[in-house]
Amino acid sequence: MRRLSIALGAIGLVIAGCGQPAPVGGTSPAPSASVAATPTRGGTAIIAIWQEPSTLAPHYANQTVTDIVNYGVIEGLAETTDAGEYVPKLVKSIPTVANGGVTVTADKMDVKWELLPGLKWSDGKPVTSADIKFSWETWMKDPKVNSRTGYDQIASIDLPNETTALVHYKSIYAPYPLNFGGLMPKALLENEADISKTDYVRRPLGTGPFKVAEFKAGDSITLEKNTNYRFGPAKPYLDRVIFKSVPSVEVAMAQLKAGEVSAVWNLTAPQAVDLEKVTGVVLQTVPGPSVERIEMNTAQNKENTDPNSTHPVLGDIEMRKALLLATPKKQIIDKLFFGKAKVGTSPVSQGWAAYKEPQASYDAKKASDTLDAAGWVKGPDGIRSKNGVRASLSYTTTTGDSNRERVQQVLVDEWKAVGVEVKIQNQPSSVLLSGSCTAKDPRKLGTFDLVQYASSPGIDPHTTVFTRYHSKNIPTAANCVGQNYTRVKNADMDKAIEDAGSTLDVAQRKASYAKALKILNDQNVIIWLYDRADIDARQNTLQGWEPNAWQRFTWNIESWFIKK
Amino acid sequence: MGRYVIRRLLQALPLLLAISAVSFTILKVTPGGPLAAYEGNPNFTDDDRVRLEHAFGLDQPIPIQYIAWLGQFLTGDWGYSFSAHQPVLVLISERLPNTIYLMGTVFVTVLLLAIPIGVLAAVKQYSWFDHVVTGTTFAFLSTPTFWLGLLLIIVFGLQLRLFPLGGIQTAGKPFDVWDRLHHLVLPVATIALVQLGSHVRYLRASMLETIGQDYMRTARAKGLAERVVVLRHGLKNAAIPLVTVVALDVPELFVGALVTEQIFGWPGMGRLFWDAATRSDYPVIMGILTVSSTLIVLANLFADVVYGYLDPRIRYS
């Protein structure tokens, strides 16, 4: 039921998205230099990475850095533009209801993919529709794959000819264009009992502009031009790309300044400010969908908390309001992030359903007044209490993240000033973000008061909104699924979320999400701190970059070139 | 002697078993797990989580997981890394040469420097040389490697630009001996300077003790040259305690230098262990822990045996 509804909605989106430009999208001025210069051929780009990809196999990968490398090697049937539209990559067009590529019958649908003619794997073997089917089979068969989302909605795949795959879905699954995001070669892998034991995990065979020439664990990954690339010999411009493993971002920056590497990815705002002064270095800031937030536990802070219990302090909506009012988002962004982030407004910050109504802005006086009015009385030490309950909270985020720690310092002081005591109780990300009850994720167990982390929605926001804010998705001892960590329950919000998922009409879906997110914000259970931006830096000589909010900075690496 | 060695080896078995059981349990009861890495994927669902927990065997009770791991380990299958999807043995085998290369160089450098400096400092006790050596070795001995490494990088890498900032070789360059050596200097200096301190002090102390012995006087009375007296009669005896210290360094050839490899981006065992630990990649952590604890036990035994061989007064039974 739930999947059906998500799906219906997104089909509407695709159909709507095809005829007209997408309503909302990540916007960022493209670096002007890259537009002006004429591409030159040849050369090597060295990209510094300080997290090593443990595997490059698309169906096992779970690190961002893997994507960074794989954009050069592995391709899917379709991809997402900066504006959030689906565009064809290995196929002639995106199948839609309008162009006859998608047929909906009752609660099922068929999608017809037509591969471009003459496609080759980088080893020269032809790409056929059998590879599409094989990719689905692998994703469903291999127990170690990262996520089966979408693939598990496919009932069967027919192959009428070498270039056509007819995908029969068991349900109506809207984000189908991104289902085959990493095509896998049947001829190479079909006789492997366990792909994780093959060379493929480090030298995956793809159709991208480059192929993996060398994988030196802990040292470097070298990509070389794929001579069988479909845009060859025109593209790629570069002969080689080397991903060089460096010990830390500081070293990467030093090497960029010294000209030893051509590009560095994923910088923080203070680091970007440092690099801005360096001549010959260009920065690219792309707003990403990821939103940094502080979630408040409305249920009791204890292991396997009862979702119907009430948090002695945060159970009071006035207290939650006051904390929001006493959160100087703008100052945090300006002072700690040098203005290189946007004030957060909702979990859906990008795309067609983006909800941009701001939360109450900073007003410490109003925060104090709110608490006074709600009966929270200041004690001799300046900390408030009500009915013998002291306004004392714990505040958890990931350890060792200097940005988050700085935000914590600011907020601890701000909140103390309005009479709320906050104690920092950080945890390693392998615990806090484990998303697992057995690994003792405090969000899952309910053992937190305030928790700060970041999360991004998919292009279709339904999964995010449904799993994070619908009352069905509160994790409990009996059933540790769902990500409604604040334990917020609101019948109207539930209904709005369900409505959004049960219509084809984009405008109606957008309105329903807006309604749900407004109710969510009225509950004051989450402080949306800021929308995170991806900041990358490169030598000015490395050109051809283009921003894309939905992909990583190497997404168009075939168009990169070195200006002589 | 043979019987002694066999008995010691047999005693080591339950000890190693206990070490592995304790470390396995500690790893498992520590909160956190390998699935945190998937959090960034908006498509990663709770169904996926349950499936992966099952695929990795994380849903089993800890004793069962341990017995399964031990059974595999004893039959030579060290398991698969959760994140790299590579056999643990393969991961270790590609990092081990780099670590042996780094730590072997350190090992040789330290010995080559420690012996002459230690001997000279003892022979010329209370001379200005001795004071300088004592002072600097103390200073380096009490310097944390992470600080020293960063200092060397800042001064010799960033400011003077004499040495590369990290890595084992220049990216994209074909194998070049000079390039390799160039990259080796700073990390070796970081570890060697710290280790040198302890070795020099050991040797100096033991040499001083030897110098006062009767047989030294006898050797001089026989009319032997001072050089021969010091080296053949003095050093030979003074070096015996050093054997223990050096033998206990041997496991480091395998384990690597956790901090230094991290600072210099060295693709060795220390960094493998660090990465595995931050990712809760249990099979890799257990593989490295078991081998290193085995090596430490063996190195201890080796030191004892060699000691007995070098010093006939010591006999084991």
Summarize pLDDT for B124-166 with one digit per residue, the tens: 889 999 999 999 999 998 988 889 998 998 899 888 889 888 8
Question: What is the reported pLDDT for B31?
Answer: 78
Asked whether the beta carbons of residue B85 and residue A240 sit closer than 8 angstroms, the reply is: no
Say if A148 is an interface residue toward chain B (CB within 8 Å).
Answer: yes
Asked whether the beta carbons of residue A251 and residue B265 sit closer than 8 angstroms, the reply is: yes
Question: What is the reported pLDDT for A525?
Answer: 96
Distance from CA of B250 to the nearest CA of A (A): 23
SS3 track for A145-201: CCCCCCHHHEEEEEEEECCEEEEEECCCCCCHHHCCCCCCCHHHHCCCCCHHHCHHH
Asked whether the beta carbons of residue A436 and residue B271 sit closer than 8 angstroms, the reply is: no
Question: What is the reported pLDDT for A26?
Answer: 35
Asked whether the beta carbons of residue A55 and residue B98 sit closer than 8 angstroms, the reply is: no
Say if A259 is an interface residue toward chain B (CB within 8 Å).
Answer: no
Count Cβ atoms within 10 A of the Cβ of residue A222 and give its class: 0-12 exposed, 13-18 middle, 19 or more buried: buried
Say if A278 is an interface residue toward chain B (CB within 8 Å).
Answer: no
Q: Is 80 exceeded by the pLDDT of residue B37?
A: no
| pLDDT band at residue B303 using 50, 70 and 90 as cut-offs | confident
At a CB cut-off of 8 Å and minimum separation 6, what does A504 contact? A8, A9, A11, A12
| pLDDT band at residue B317 using 50, 70 and 90 as cut-offs | low
Say if B87 is an interface residue toward chain A (CB within 8 Å).
Answer: yes
Chain B residue numbers with beta carbons less than 8 Å from the beta carbon of A52 are: 275
Chain A residue numbers with beta carbons less than 8 Å from the beta carbon of B280 are: 430, 439
Asked whether the beta carbons of residue A149 and residue B46 sit closer than 8 angstroms, the reply is: no
Distance from CA of A50 to the nearest CA of B (A): 9
Question: What is the reported pLDDT for A24?
Answer: 34
CA B46 to CA A382: how far, in whole Å?
43
- The per-residue pLDDT for range B38-82, each reduced to its tens digit, is 876 777 888 888 888 888 888 888 899 999 999 988 898 888 888
In our burial notation (b when 16+ CB lie closer than 10 A, e otherwise), range A320-355 reads bbbbbbbbbbeebbeebbeebbbbbbbbbbbbbbbb
Between positions 424 and 463 of A, the ones with CB within 8 A of B are 427-436, 438-440, 455-458, 463
| pLDDT band at residue B241 using 50, 70 and 90 as cut-offs | confident
Q: What percent of chain B has pLDDT over 90?
A: 29
Question: How much is the average pLDDT of B209-232?
Answer: 88
Question: How much is the average pLDDT of B261-268?
Answer: 88
Say if B277 is an interface residue toward chain A (CB within 8 Å).
Answer: no
| Interface mutation target, options A251, A291, A399, A432, chain B, most CBs of B under 10 Å | A251
Say if A399 is an interface residue toward chain B (CB within 8 Å).
Answer: no
CA B279 to CA B275: how far, in whole Å?
6
Asked whether the beta carbons of residue B55 and residue A433 sit closer than 8 angstroms, the reply is: no
Kindly report whether the peptide bond that precedes residue B61 is cis, defined as omega within 30 degrees of 0: no
At a CB cut-off of 8 Å and minimum separation 6, what does A410 contact? A328, A331, A332, A335, A336
- The per-residue pLDDT for range B175-188, each reduced to its tens digit, is 888 999 999 999 99
Q: What is the pLDDT along chain A (564 residues), one digit of tens a residue?
A: 344 444 444 444 433 333 333 333 333 444 444 445 678 899 999 999 887 888 899 988 878 888 899 999 999 999 988 888 889 999 999 998 889 899 988 788 999 999 999 999 999 999 999 999 999 999 999 988 888 888 988 999 999 999 999 999 998 887 788 889 899 999 999 998 888 888 899 999 999 999 999 998 888 999 999 999 999 888 899 999 999 988 788 888 888 988 889 999 888 888 888 888 888 999 988 888 889 999 999 999 998 889 899 999 999 999 999 999 999 999 999 988 888 888 999 999 888 888 999 999 999 999 999 999 999 999 999 999 999 999 999 999 998 888 899 999 999 999 999 999 999 999 988 788 888 787 788 999 999 999 999 988 877 788 889 989 999 899 988 888 889 999 999 999 999 998 887 766 778 889 999 999 999 999 999 999 999 888 899 999 999 999 888 888 899 999 999 987
| Interface mutation target, options A46, A197, A219, A426, chain B, most CBs of B under 10 Å | A219
Asked whether the beta carbons of residue B45 and residue A147 sit closer than 8 angstroms, the reply is: yes
Comparison of pLDDT for A84 and B7, the residue scoring more: B7
Chain A residue numbers with beta carbons less than 8 Å from the beta carbon of B166 are: 246-247, 251
The answer to whether A115 and A78 have CB atoms below 8 angstroms apart is no
Question: What is the reported pLDDT for A22?
Answer: 35
The answer to whether A527 and A59 have CB atoms below 8 angstroms apart is no
Say if B67 is an interface residue toward chain A (CB within 8 Å).
Answer: no
The answer to whether A214 and A48 have CB atoms below 8 angstroms apart is no
Distance from CA of A406 to the nearest CA of B (A): 22
Asked whether the beta carbons of residue B265 and residue A463 sit closer than 8 angstroms, the reply is: no
CA A19 to CA A32: how far, in whole Å?
28
